[in-house]
Amino acid sequence: MFRRTILCRNGKIQFFANFCSLENGKRSLVNSGAGISLSKSEPVSSKTISPGKEHVISYLVNSCGLTPERAVSASGKLHFDSPDKANAVLRFLEKHGFSKTHIAELVSRRPLFLLANPEKSFLPKIEFLLRSAGFSEPDMVEAVVKHPAYLARSLENQLAPVYEYLEGIVGSRKAGILLRRGSWIFDHGLDKKLIDNVALLRELGVPESCIEFALFHYPDLVTLKHDSFKKIVSEIEGMGFNPLKTAFVTAMHSRTGKGNIDVWERCYETYSNWGWSKDDIYMAFRKHPNCMLLSEKKISRFLDFVANKMGRDSRTIARVPYIIFYSMEKRIIPRYSVLHHLFLNGFVKKNWSLATVMCPTEEKFLENYVIRYLKELPQLLQIYKGETSGGV
């Protein structure tokens, strides 16, 4: 009886060894009291390994290329006694352009893919990406590895109808980009709320170009529940936004989701702390909705420079809020330094226009405010480059 038990145990060990071995025989599984590890790898604690999972872990490491740590994690969701199905999946993926690195990443994220019927489950979606969406094979592989849920979703109820709907609005190129990005729109089928939300925008007279902009840039907005969507539309209309402008959907986005709303409220408080009235804030918001999605630090640093360095009323920025988005180091400070030096030398008036100075391209700025005065003020270029202060 004892001898039979030993033989049985030896037979099981030999089965696992045969099951897990690599074709090249260069790597092997080590099972000891210290845990399971591979040569040149860190050991994995045996406490993390579920009973009976050793052969699965070894297969994930040796055949799929997972690290021991990721193999242990993936094995918790996976069980098989024979590698036949898994081998068929690996052959299928290799045949369709997936490298060993791609396969390791895919299996690590979706270990149950190893139990699928690839011809039935994967092939129709891969063919859809290649033929209908026009992906190249490398693009298809990259999209699937980044968004493995594509192989798990229904082609008939999710991927194809949503893609075709988007293609009709934004065109095939942008629909393909949304597919590569893993847009939230593909998380669901072509449900009623998306169709109703787009229909409402059309009723308001929102141009197709703006609807395209919303679908392409703000999928979280157009996939809101319709009642919530209508509420935001009403709120933005009440703030004086024109539905014919892109700013209308940008403003809606800034008021969508708790995260954005929290940032919006903090921006409102920050502008208020710098003396802006409600009218000032709403005017800036209408001119550039994203000015309500900035960090408090960026707003305060900019307005502090305007008020305490330039000596201007910070409220004037409400008329030109897009200036806040410029880099302090690369644009605001260098250009102010030049204009301040020009003012000290009598070449410009004190209240020069912020928009006229800060908005032009660098080439235009250099032409108008540096090169033009170099003969009289040869140090201007050094001041612009920050090599000398010029009295700032």
pLDDT in tens, the chain (392 residues): 434 443 344 444 343 444 444 333 333 333 332 233 443 344 454 445 565 688 999 999 999 999 999 999 999 889 888 999 999 999 999 999 999 999 999 999 999 999 999 999 999 999 999 999 999 999 999 999 999 999 999 999 889 999 999 999 888 998 999 899 888 788 777 888 999 999 999 999 999 999 999 998 898 899 999 999 999 999 999 999 999 999 999 999 999 999 999 999 999 999 999 999 999 999 999 999 999 999 999 999 999 999 999 999 999 999 999 999 999 999 999 999 999 999 999 999 988 999 999 999 999 999 999 999 999 999 999 999 998 765 56
Record the pTM: 0.71
Range of the domain at 363: 327-392
Per-residue pLDDT at 3: 41
Per-residue pLDDT at 150: 94
Rounded to whole angstroms, the Cα distance separating 193 from 381 reads 57
Per-residue pLDDT at 122: 97
Task: Kindly state the tokens that stand for 238.
Answer: 């009440």
Within 10 angstroms of residue 61's Cβ, the number of other Cβ atoms is: 27
Matching residue, tokens 């942008």: 174
Per-residue pLDDT at 12: 41
Please check whether residue 368 lies inside any domain of the structure: yes
Per-residue pLDDT at 183: 84
Please check whether residue 98 lies inside any domain of the structure: no
Please check whether residue 55 lies inside any domain of the structure: no
Please check whether residue 376 lies inside any domain of the structure: yes
- Residue 364: CB partners within 8 Å, gap ≥ 6? none
Please check whether residue 373 lies inside any domain of the structure: yes
Amino acid at 257: G
- Residue 14: CB partners within 8 Å, gap ≥ 6? none
CB 180 within 8 Å of CB 145: no
Please check whether residue 378 lies inside any domain of the structure: yes
Per-residue pLDDT at 261: 96
Q: With 0-12 CB in 10 A as exposed, 13-18 as middle and 19+ as buried, what is 103?
A: buried
Report the domain count for the chain.
1
Please check whether residue 312 lies inside any domain of the structure: no
Rounded to whole angstroms, the Cα distance separating 224 from 139 reads 29
Rounded to whole angstroms, the Cα distance separating 102 from 93 reads 9
* Closest to 126 in 3D by CA, of 111, 100, 108, 106: 106
Please check whether residue 161 lies inside any domain of the structure: no
Per-residue pLDDT at 181: 87
Rounded to whole angstroms, the Cα distance separating 338 from 341 reads 5
Per-residue pLDDT at 53: 81
